[in-house]
Amino acid sequence: MAAVQVSEAEKVYILHGIRDDLRVDGRGCEDYRHMEIETDVVSNTDGSAKVTLGHTAVLVGVKAEIGKPRPAVPNEGYLEFFVDCSANATPEFEGRGGEELGTELSNTLYKVFNNKHSVNLKSLCISAGEHCWVLYVDVLLLQCDGNLYDAISIAVKAALFNTKIPQVHISTDDEGGKEIELSDDPYDCMRLNVENVPCIVTMCKVGRRHVVDVTLQEKACSVASLIISVTHKGIVTCVRKVGGGSLDPESIFEMTEAGKRVGKALHAPLMTLLQQEEDLGKARQKVGFLG
Amino acid sequence: MAADMRLPTIRKTVSLSVSAFDRKDLVVPGDVITSDTGFMRGHGTYVDEDKLTASVAGEVQRVDKLICVRPLKTRFNGEVGDVVVGRITEVQQKRWKVETNSRLDSVLLLSSVNLPGGELRRRSAEDELTMREYLQEGDLISAEVQSVFSDGALSLHTRSLKYGKLGQGVLVQLSPSLIKRQKTHFHNLPCGASIILGNNGFVWLYPTPGQQEEEAGGFYTSLEPVSLSDREVISRLRNCLLALAAHKVLLYDTSVLYCYESSLQHQVKDILKPEVMEEIVLLTQQKLLEQEG
């Protein structure tokens, strides 16, 4: 990830501040920065969302295509994730520089969604063993200012909420083969239930305390972080440790508990906001990228 | 702690003074400045079919027969005497490379720093080898521009007790065009913190040093924990600076102080919310206009 240089004295200042629960920008250890979420920003996708968390900006697009289901689970569809770190975010991502980070992020997303409950995969089935919906979730990093995992997970949840999958009708044609017809009506579509989609909370260990939503300067003072994905009921679907430093087993337990608490609190405002945006309908003033 | 999530809104500029449309000297790339061929063209302009056209977005400056356009968003173009805050990026043979938000890294020669102890002597080979003990990669310094090389790189010096390595505090990176040129760039604000407004857009906020530390001259960086009240003042100032910069208000000690006072009714972390920012900047601009008029 993009890293900034911090002097020793600045590190000491940041460390002491976090110890006293007053970070450089006045936040407490469990406060998020100002977040702005907008869905339906990319017109040629089935669902999209743009999330700005402080200076981090993430764009997610979801495209639904018809494909063959996996042999092990013939009556389920599946999701494919791809994260692209654009060179817009930082010059380090130029060319193939962002590939490593991109693969790491998409692997984490696969792990987070690798369970039966996050997305109802059975609803993505069209005809068992032959056709199913495949959701290609593409994430584009536009700006990088720390806390990529959280921003990406919120954007994925918002984009999945916004996804409109067309209804299909299966009919048998003259030779006895199956024919798939997509409905012509743009409003005749299926929506996904994203209640159980988890949100990722990154807990960074700085000094002796753990901090949520770190900026790049605070990240330079931390050696290890724990990535926890939490559903709205507080169930943890994936825990991952990143960073070169070591974590005490006790602190892992504390961080997981704190992560569960913070993650649980993220879902309710997000769903209210998404519902509010949906209810505005045509009256909503689209801001897009020119705000 | 509920996360603050909201739908994005189109930001409106908060401006009490004359609106941008009325000012005749603001141009964007492609705007024709004049069709008169008697003028010499300076930076930021080019001649297109005998018409002088702007190539950057900014304000037009005319000095006798020379017309140039000074852009709003630009890298720092240093002049002799400017006070800068910079970060050491490299330690080389007899000099340090300093990042100052200009087109090229600035240079701090070993002969331009005050050696610890304040002695005036020839720099020996030993001094060269112990350079890293004094200034390392990542350290922050305050310095003054001594001269400008022919390629545009700045040569800095810290030959006064008020310059040198910076200790604990917060760095805010802003655009250089927002910093007002003043007699002094080091201020001890009455609210309880000190500020260095570097001409290159880097602003350094730090707790006001006690009496005995002022004599050390910047070589001894105290790693004692800063008190919570000082910390709050510094965080508030940092957020106020970001709010002023977001609304393109010129930064100098008075404007920063007025903004600080206007923000006292809000919590420190709320200052960065868009509506609170607008309110605070509006109050600051009103106060500044009252003070002028």
Looking at the predicted structure, is the pLDDT value of residue B118 above 70?
no
Residue with tokens 């300067």: A217
Q: Supply the DSSP symbol for A281.
A: G
Q: What pLDDT was estimated at residue A161?
A: 93
Looking at the predicted structure, is the pLDDT value of residue A195 above 60?
yes
pLDDT in tens, B201-215: 999 999 988 755 554
Q: pLDDT over 90 for what percent of chain B?
A: 52
Looking at the predicted structure, is the pLDDT value of residue B106 above 80?
yes
The stretch A113-130 carries a mean pLDDT of: 87
> Phi-psi category of A90—alpha, beta or left, where left has phi over 0 and alpha has psi -120 to 50?
beta
In a domain, A181, yes or no: yes
Tokens standing for residue B1: 């702690």
Chain B: residue whose CA lies nearest to A284: B7
pLDDT in tens, A223-265: 899 999 999 998 999 999 998 888 989 999 999 999 999 988 8
What element of type H or E holds B290? helix B274-292
Gap between the Cα atoms of A163 and B80, Å rounded: 58
Q: Supply the DSSP symbol for A25.
A: T
| Amino acid (one-letter) located at B203 | V
> CB of B195 within 8 A of CB of B252?
no
Å between B273 CA and nearest CA of chain A: 7
Lowest mean pLDDT among A107-111, B182-186, B206-210: B206-210
In a domain, A162, yes or no: yes
Residue B224 pLDDT level (bands cut at 50, 70, 90): confident
For residue A40, give its domain range: 9-279
> CB of A13 within 8 A of CB of A207?
no
Looking at the predicted structure, is the pLDDT value of residue B219 above 70?
no
Residue A236 burial (CB count, 10 A): 15
Q: What pLDDT was estimated at residue B266?
A: 93
Residue B77 burial (CB count, 10 A): 18
Q: pLDDT over 70 for what percent of chain A?
A: 97
Residue A104 sits in a domain whose CATH number is: 3.30.230.70
Residue A80 pLDDT level (bands cut at 50, 70, 90): very high
Q: What pLDDT was estimated at residue A83?
A: 94
In a domain, A220, yes or no: yes
Gap between the Cα atoms of B268 and A257, Å rounded: 27
Contacts of A285 in chain B (CB under 8 A): 9-10
For chain B, domain boundaries: 29-71
Judged by CB atoms closer than 8 Å, whether chains meet at A10 and B168 is answered as yes
> CB of A236 within 8 A of CB of A256?
yes
Residues 6 or more apart whose Cβ sits within 8 Å of residue B90? B96, B97, B105, B137
**What does pLDDT average to over chain B?**
87
Closest of B173, B191, B194 to residue B87, by C-alpha? B173
Q: What pLDDT was estimated at residue B94?
A: 87
Chain A: residue whose CA lies nearest to B275: A34
Q: What pLDDT was estimated at residue A204?
A: 93
The stretch B116-145 carries a mean pLDDT of: 82
In a domain, A290, yes or no: no
Q: What pLDDT was estimated at residue B125?
A: 77
Å between B40 CA and nearest CA of chain A: 37
Gap between the Cα atoms of B218 and B167, Å rounded: 8
The stretch B117-140 carries a mean pLDDT of: 79
**What does pLDDT average to over chain A?**
89
Contacts of B232 in chain A (CB under 8 A): 22, 26
pLDDT in tens, A13-37: 999 999 999 999 899 899 999 999 9
Contacts of A15 in chain B (CB under 8 A): none
Judged by CB atoms closer than 8 Å, whether chains meet at B140 and A10 is answered as yes
Q: pLDDT over 70 for what percent of chain B?
A: 90
Of the candidates B169, B225, B239, the beta carbon closest to that of A25 is on B239
Of the candidates A9, A33, A287, the beta carbon closest to that of B223 is on A9
Burial A105-140 (b: 16+ CB within 10 A, else e): bbebbeebbeeeebbebeebbbeeeebbbbbbbbbb
> CB of B129 within 8 A of CB of B135?
no
The total number of structural domains in chain A stands at 1
B interface test, pick of A6, A10, A147, A215 with most B CB neighbours within 10 Å:
A10
Judged by CB atoms closer than 8 Å, whether chains meet at A25 and B5 is answered as no
Higher pLDDT, B11 or B172: B172
Looking at the predicted structure, is the pLDDT value of residue B220 above 90?
no
Q: What pLDDT was estimated at residue A60?
A: 95
Q: pLDDT over 90 for what percent of chain A?
A: 51
Gap between the Cα atoms of A209 and A206, Å rounded: 6
Higher pLDDT, A62 or A176: A62
Gap between the Cα atoms of A14 and A4, Å rounded: 14
* Class of CATH domain B29-71: mainly beta
Closest of B207, B256, B202 to residue A9, by C-alpha? B207
Read off the pTM: 0.89
Contacts of B238 in chain A (CB under 8 A): 24-25
Closest of A276, A54, A228, A255 to residue A151, by C-alpha? A54
Residue A140 pLDDT level (bands cut at 50, 70, 90): very high
